[in-house]
Structures are given as C-alpha cells and as structure tokens.
C-alpha cells in the first residue's frame, strides 16, 4: 500500500464522479474510498456499485467509508471507519481476515495502536492542513507519521488539505499513502493532478 489514496467528494452526479475517478486511476491512484456523507441509501448503493465496477476494471481496491452493510452487500474490497463509527474490531469480525480495514486516528498515536491491535490494515492521520471538504482541528503534528512507522507495523496514510507540495514533507516523514479529495476532484486536469501525487513516491 503506497501512493495516492483517492477519497470521493459528496457529488450526486454519478457520471461526473465516475469520469473524474477514472482520470485519477489513469493518473496512478492506487486505492479509492467511496465517501458520500449526504447521499440517500439508493444513490449511495448505485454510486458504490458503479465505482466498484470501475475499480475492478483498473484492478484497484474500492473501500466503503463507514457503511458496513454496503461494504458487505457489494463485497467491496474493504472499509474505512472513523472515531465515531463502528469499531475496528467489530468491522474486522464482520468482513473477515482478507478485506482491507482502515482506521482514522486523527492526531492520536494511541488510537493507532488500538486500531492495530483490533485488526486494522492501515492507520490514517490528519488533519495536517485546512481542508476544503472535511472540518476538523488542524492539529496533527508531522512527526506522528515518523513515530507511527517506528511503533506500528502498518502503512500510514495522511489526510487533510493535501496537495502534492504540502504532502511531500509527510512522505519524507514516512507516509505510505496520501489521501486526497479536492486536489484531484476539483483539479482542471485530474489525471495530471493524480500523477503529481504519484511522483512523490517515485522520487
């Protein structure tokens, strides 16, 4: 698990969502998380199914944000849970040993340790910078990535206002994946934007 981790925006326009996601996959994104906080169940199911088909085409994993029932119904590749969602242990028990389970750990290394013990596949830290999409305290110190890589044998994801420029020092600290929403989905050229993130890991 290394490279650009794509997180979808709250777009109701499924065709636009698929078109931009495909451009990002062509640009080298390695993983997609379907996240739509305001969709109704019908739209969420339709979009997730379509994204799963697209990701299968490009042989990239699709994770579902929060919705365990949807992940199970579609047999998606995994799930990402936050601090107020179903616990990592419960999710791991439900999806089995082979699916990807990601955990938001914010700026708390102890949460990452707990997630690791509960069966997480990776730990995600942030926010590091102000985000155009997610609202949270921008208080996560960059050195948490270094600490995590020393203490926890799991890939570390960084999220929160990520651009290729401000992600670079976090990759230097040891981040395995950079999660991006706006920097790719709102870019004039999403494929080029994705490729710019990918170059961080090939330097």
Beta strands in 19-74 (DSSP E): 31-34, 62-65
Buried b (16+ CB within 10 A) or exposed e, 5-35: bbbbbebeeeeebbebbbbbbebbbbbbbbb
- Whole-number Å distance between alpha carbons of 45 and 57: 18
Instruction: Measure the CA–CA gap between 24 and 189, rounded to whole angstroms.
Output: 9
Catalytic residue among 134, 149, 182, 195: 134
Pick the catalytic residue: 44, 104, 121, 148?
A: 104
Q: Annotated catalytic, 104?
A: yes
Reply yes or no on whether 50 is catalytic. no
- Helix (DSSP H) and strand (DSSP E) numbers for the chain: 9, 8
Catalytic residue selected from 35, 44, 60, 92: 35
**Residues near 156 by Cβ (< 8 Å), separated by ≥ 6?**
122, 123, 124, 125, 145, 148, 149, 174, 175, 176, 177
In the annotation, is 2 catalytic?
no
Active site residues: 35, 104, 134
């Amino acid at each position: 698990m290394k490279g650009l981790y794509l997180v979808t925006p709250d777009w109701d326009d499924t065709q636009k969502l698929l078109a931009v996601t495909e451009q990002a996959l062509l640009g080298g994104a390695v993983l997609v998380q379907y996240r739509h906080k305001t969709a109704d169940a019908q739209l969420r199911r339709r979009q997730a199914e379509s994204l799963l088909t697209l990701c299968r085409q490009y042989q990239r994993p699709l994770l579902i944000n929060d919705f365990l029932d949807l992940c199970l119904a579609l047999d998606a590749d995994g799930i990402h849970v936050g601090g107020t969602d179903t616990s990592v242990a419960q999710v791991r028990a439900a999806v089995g040993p082979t699916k990807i389970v990601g955990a938001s750990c914010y700026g708390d290394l102890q949460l990452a340790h707990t997630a690791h013990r509960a069966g997480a596949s990776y730990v995600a830290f942030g926010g590091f910078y102000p985000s155009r999409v997610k609202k949270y305290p921008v208080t996560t110190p960059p050195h948490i990535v270094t600490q995590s890589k020393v203490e926890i044998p799991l890939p570390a994801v960084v999220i929160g206002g990520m651009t290729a420029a401000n992600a670079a020092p976090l990759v230097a600290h040891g981040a395995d994946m950079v999660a991006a929403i706006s920097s790719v989905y709102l870019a004039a050229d999403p494929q080029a934007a994705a490729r710019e993130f990918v170059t961080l890991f090939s330097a």
